[in-house]
């Protein structure tokens, strides 16, 4: 589990209050199993039936290529980079600018035009089914961190939501990053995108070059220990590198990652009190960059954090805990890691 936010989310699934929407039953009955037409979000039309086998092993089918697509924000951002636009999103999409109070794109929104897409949920547990129905959805797409668990689809609403349109789930854990990237490309291609464009091929070449740079940097800095962390007001979470797709790949590339010893039930992390935040020695800290986690400015108030060798040495690097799975977005993650390794000094 990548962070405290994920820990809270997964353990809260059965505790979240069930929100019943007025008139939902009638709306679903009217919708039935029919899908309505809408503006095409795919760059090309594909005649005949559509079929895609997702990472649940489910063969998802439709009479024609889905056009009205609703997706988890990060997945939607990845599809956009591969050439597929969606009509609606759910998940962290906008945040309020602390200085102006204006709505700004969340880090997970990537290059999505957040003023153009319909946001049917912006926080955990929020999925506005009435707004979802208005989009006449033909396909719902999201991540999967645990088998058959649809990310940001509220458990108490899941059955109602999945009656409206077919769903596709793609792994965001337990598989290495290149595999996950390829699966997103495969899905985009099935939806009509040209994933062989020069831009996408250039992005892929950049990703592969960045991976080799990490490999070489790790080879030259074998003694540099890298810790994957996420801060909350009460606890500091040290992630195990074995499950998240990014850290699993970092490990394959030879990065010396800290492995916590007392993991939660899901095998994602170890939660440390702030008094014990220095339990694991580290030269670099990759810090969760999501809006749900404490960022460096807020962490200054934690004396034990400020005393960590990596913090004092200025060797804290933002970690994109939930990557946008396109080559365009993942290449910079590897480049930043390579640079951090190349410049790191042994401080632990």
Pairing type for strands 269-273 and 235-239 reads antiparallel
Q: Are 112 and 76 in contact (CB under 8 A)?
A: yes
Residue 83 CA from chain centroid, whole number: 18
pTM, two decimal places: 0.84
Helix (H, G, I), strand (E, B) or coil at 335: helix
133-150, pLDDT tens digit by residue? 999 999 999 999 999 999
- Dihedral angle at the C-alpha atoms of 158, 159, 165, 169, nearest 10 degrees? 50
Residue 52, CA distances (Å) to 57, 59, 139 in order: 10, 6, 11
pLDDT, residue 42, reads: 42
- pLDDT tens by residue, 243-298: 999 999 999 999 999 999 999 888 899 999 999 999 999 999 999 998 889 999 99
On average, the pLDDT of the chain sits at 88
Cα–Cα dist 289/263, whole Å: 22
| SS3 at position 13 | coil
Q: Is the pLDDT of residue 174 over 50?
A: yes
* pLDDT on residue 86: 98
CB 235 within 8 A of CB 274: yes
* 23 vs 152, higher pLDDT: 152
Contacts of 24 by beta carbon, 8 Å cutoff, 6+ apart: 129, 130, 160
User: What is the reported pLDDT for 112?
Assistant: 96
pLDDT of amino acid 102: 83
Amino acid 103: pLDDT = 86
* 11-47 pLDDT, tens digit each: 433 322 222 222 333 333 334 333 333 333 445 555 6
What is Dmax (Cα atoms) for the chain? 64
In the chain, the DSSP E strands lie at 50-53, 59-62, 69-72, 88-90, 94-96, 103-105, 118-121, 139-146, 149-150, 167-171, 226-231, 235-239, 269-273, 284-288, 316-319
The pLDDT score that the predictor gives to residue 193 is 97
């Amino acid at each position: 589990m990548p962070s405290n936010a994920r820990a809270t989310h997964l353990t809260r699934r059965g505790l979240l209050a069930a929100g019943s929407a007025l008139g939902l039953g009638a709306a679903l009955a009217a919708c039935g199993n029919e899908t309505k037409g809408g503006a095409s979000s795919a760059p090309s039309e594909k005649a005949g039936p559509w079929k895609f086998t997702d990472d649940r092993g489910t063969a998802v089918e439709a009479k024609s290529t889905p056009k009205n697509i609703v997706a988890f924000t990060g997945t939607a951002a990845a599809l956009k980079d591969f050439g597929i636009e969606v009509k609606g999103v759910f998940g962290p999409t906008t945040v309020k600018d602390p200085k102006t109070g204006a709505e700004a794109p969340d880090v997970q929104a990537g290059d999505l035009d957040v003023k153009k897409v319909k946001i049917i949920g912006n926080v955990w547990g929020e999925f506005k089914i009435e707004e979802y129905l208005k989009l006449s959805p033909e396909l719902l797409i999201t991540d999967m961190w645990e088998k058959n668990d649809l990310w940001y689809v509220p458990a108490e609403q899941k059955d109602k939501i999945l009656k409206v349109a077919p769903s596709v789930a793609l792994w965001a854990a337990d598989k290495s990053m290149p595999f996950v990237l390829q699966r997103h490309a495969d899905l985009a291609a099935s939806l009509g995108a040209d994933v062989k464009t020069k831009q996408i091929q250039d992005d892929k070449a950049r990703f592969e070059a960045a991976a080799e740079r990490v490999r070489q940097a790790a080879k030259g800095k074998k003694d540099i220990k890298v810790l994957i962390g996420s801060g909350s007001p009460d606890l500091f979470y040290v992630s195990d590198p074995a499950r998240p797709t990014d850290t699993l790949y970092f490990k394959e590339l030879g990065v010396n990652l800290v492995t916590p010893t007392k993991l939660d039930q899901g095998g994602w992390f170890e939660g440390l009190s702030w008094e014990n935040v220095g339990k694991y020695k580290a030269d670099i800290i990759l810090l969760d960059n999501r809006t749900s986690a404490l960022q460096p400015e807020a962490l200054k108030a934690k004396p034990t954090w400020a005393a960590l060798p990596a913090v004092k040495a200025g060797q804290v690097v933002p970690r994109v805990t939930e990557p946008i799975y396109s080559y365009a977005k993942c290449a910079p993650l590897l480049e930043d890691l390579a640079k951090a390794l190349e410049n790191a000094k042994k401080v632990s």
